[in-house]
Structure 1
């Protein structure tokens, strides 16, 4: 029986969802294996865990321009070289317990869906402290310098362009597999739209706009829903508020012109995307990949500077969505897409063409074939 560690960090939901998708894929292929999902922050000091987990979301939500500047400035070989020793020392001190655990309980392979554990494993491998192979999974459509660790045995990349970026920054081409960001294998399953329309009590004559609140915050989501009420086209709206119970209750209370269904935390996003005609969302790597897997064009609202802007570039370049920089323009822009059936269908086809619904399964298969 093989032992597989999937190392991640709960700073933003995408890294964790990619890790969960890979775990599910490995267990589907090798149910007898011991596959562990490890949140690296659980092995760090409590203060470090709290600061690291919250700092990204706090910066992105409160000062997104600063995050964009930080992202751009650190995406530079010279900057990374200057800060790498300090970063490595800081991470090592914070992750002493993780390093000890891995040395005492070595896996047959480790897979990283965040650059923090990738940096730790790369450092340990350079010092010959670990002997097992490890895999780096880039969870965005652009490979930032923080993802560059040449001693990784395999890289899973989103696209050919991501592969080019990794290769340009010193990763051997033979190590890079552009198989897509790993998403739950359930996105590859075809489900009956007719049955789902009945399940969610939807009207088949109306177009469906799905709003996912992740990354927006409460205020913008309320504004988005109100803007969609102004669309002069027969639509119905579904809103997923996630774990924000206050937002869920607030949205449920208000009466609206357009049929509007409010969902809290759900575990069937694949079903909601199956019936959706458009997705209004931020452009996180996992959300983007899930939408593409279901052939749903994205309406990307005011993407956060940094990786979200790069992800949205990919969508726009392939004609699989539109970008709306101001929420006040949202209703007009959505209406302009829905009013042109040919345009909407073309966008759906474009999304479907670049979607990779089996990304987690194909990644797990390649890892098994090459390293286990």
Structure 2
């Protein structure tokens, strides 16, 4: 293998989490001295028009038609990984994908989003590149699975068991946790951060995050519940939803208990000085909170992967879930008690896996070296599937 291998990491802007995981992996490669790392929004590169349409539809359906989105999510999950619909989806833009891969010439490809075009091209005989998938949720879905994927990296043992039930050989699955960026793993000076943001010591601050695109349901209703039923002061992050940010600033400019932010690059800073977090059930946000031992209340998780993430972690006792404002108020009042808050911080930290990125990087490099040695005796799709243990 090359001393400085070229690695292609595929992400998507359907939400912000896939990109953040890709960036975390890039940081982990750099920490081990590897710098030829290419982050590509593959669907946007190969299908810019359909990517824009799909992304718009996803964001709007999640906000205005969540049940419809949930139905489509579950319908797709019924289809087997080898079904025609998946072969069609993963085969979109074949020519452009081949051109992009030939231009970058990666030694390995890592997917943080389930547009698995490269494994599909490997199976078709168009490419011969080892491929890896980092699942960025705490629940499984058949769209993540492809017979041509060399290795899967998953968050929990339960998720590994679910993939095995769906036909993936357990030797191809590593339980690593979900990677988070380096900034979430570094010690911080909380007093300095409070001073930076103009916050008082001794007060409890609730971090209310509407998501990267500001799609948390009923933000104003949530905010009013916090202000009327609890003693928290609120740090409201509206993400890239500028209209929401402007509305909240106009509505609460005179309220000293509320501070409104737009899109925040340094979320780890606000998380570090907050007493608890109210958010949607994006797996990356939950994983980042676990790294910082920040208690979480998930509010009205959307049908689909968010509901799955929330249910999985709430069953573990790692997060609290509120589906009504009454439940939200009850959970927040519990979290105002320091003993309960510390306990929930410990509970969510239990799902954190240290050095996830480093472990994934090491496995990717080791397998890639082996792949390059043996690929000459895996010439066909059938033999590749047999070697990969896919049933």
TM-score calculated relative to the size of structure 1: 0.91
Q: Which residue number corresponds to residue 334 of structure 1?
A: 332
Q: Which residue number corresponds to residue 303 of structure 1?
A: 301
8 Å contact from structure 2 (residues 81, 142) kept in 1? no
Q: Which residue number corresponds to residue 373 of structure 2?
A: none
8 Å contact from structure 2 (residues 225, 325) kept in 1? yes
Alpha-carbon distance in 2 for matches of 1:136, 1:219: 30
8 Å contact from structure 1 (residues 230, 331) kept in 2? no
Alpha-carbon spacing, 1:321–1:43, altered in 2? closer, same or farther (3 Å): closer
RMSD: 2.1
Q: Which residue number corresponds to residue 68 of structure 2?
A: 66
1:139-154 superposed matches below 5 A: 139-154=136-151
Q: Which runs of 5+ in 1 are unaligned?
A: none
1:366 shift after superposition: 2.6
Q: Which runs of 4+ in 1 moved over 4 A?
A: 255-258
Alpha-carbon distance in 2 for matches of 1:216, 1:242: 5
1:38-66: CA deviation from partner (whole Å, max 9, x where unpaired): 11123324431222222222221121112
1:256 shift after superposition: 5.8
1:269 shift after superposition: 0.7
Partner-residue secondary structure (3-state), 1:300: strand
1:108-133: CA deviation from partner (whole Å, max 9, x where unpaired): 000011111x2x12211212222221
1:333 shift after superposition: 3.0
Q: Which residue number corresponds to residue 57 of structure 1?
A: 59
Partner-residue secondary structure (3-state), 1:365: helix
Alpha-carbon distance in 1 for matches of 2:364, 2:150: 10
Alpha-carbon distance in 2 for matches of 1:22, 1:238: 29
Partner-residue secondary structure (3-state), 2:308: helix
Partner-residue secondary structure (3-state), 2:366: helix
Q: Which residue number corresponds to residue 292 of structure 1?
A: 290
1:249-285: CA deviation from partner (whole Å, max 9, x where unpaired): 3222324656222111111111111111110000111
Alpha-carbon distance in 1 for matches of 2:313, 2:254: 31
1:368 shift after superposition: 2.3
Alpha-carbon distance in 2 for matches of 1:256, 1:324: 28
Matched, 1:323 2:326: no
Equivalent residue for 1:8, pick from 2, 6, 11: 11
Matched, 1:197 2:194: yes
8 Å contact from structure 1 (residues 229, 258) kept in 2? no
Partner-residue secondary structure (3-state), 2:321: strand
1:147 shift after superposition: 1.0
1:95 shift after superposition: 4.1
1:5 shift after superposition: 0.4
Partner-residue secondary structure (3-state), 2:7: strand
1:136 shift after superposition: 0.7
1:181-216: CA deviation from partner (whole Å, max 9, x where unpaired): 122122111112222122222122211210111165
TM-score calculated relative to the size of structure 2: 0.87
Alpha-carbon distance in 1 for matches of 2:154, 2:271: 23
1:75 shift after superposition: 1.8
Alpha-carbon distance in 1 for matches of 2:191, 2:47: 50
Q: Which residue number corresponds to residue 314 of structure 1?
A: 312
Equivalent residue for 2:218, pick from 209, 217, 220: 220
Alpha-carbon spacing, 1:286–1:124, altered in 2? closer, same or farther (3 Å): same
Q: Which runs of 5+ in 2 are unaligned?
A: 370-391
Q: Which residue number corresponds to residue 251 of structure 1?
A: 248
Q: Which residue number corresponds to residue 43 of structure 1?
A: 45
1:158-307 superposed matches below 5 A: 158-214=155-211, 217=215, 220-233=218-231, 235-253=232-250, 254-255=252-253, 259-307=257-305
Farther off after superposition, 269-278 or 86-95: 86-95
8 Å contact from structure 1 (residues 231, 331) kept in 2? yes
1:310-358: CA deviation from partner (whole Å, max 9, x where unpaired): 11123212222211112354334312331x3222111111111212353
Q: Which residue number corresponds to residue 95 of structure 2?
A: 96
Alpha-carbon spacing, 1:90–1:195, altered in 2? closer, same or farther (3 Å): closer
1:242 shift after superposition: 1.4
Q: Which residue number corresponds to residue 21 of structure 1?
A: 24
Alpha-carbon distance in 2 for matches of 1:357, 1:222: 36
1:143-183: CA deviation from partner (whole Å, max 9, x where unpaired): 11111123312111011111111122121212211111122
8 Å contact from structure 1 (residues 237, 258) kept in 2? no
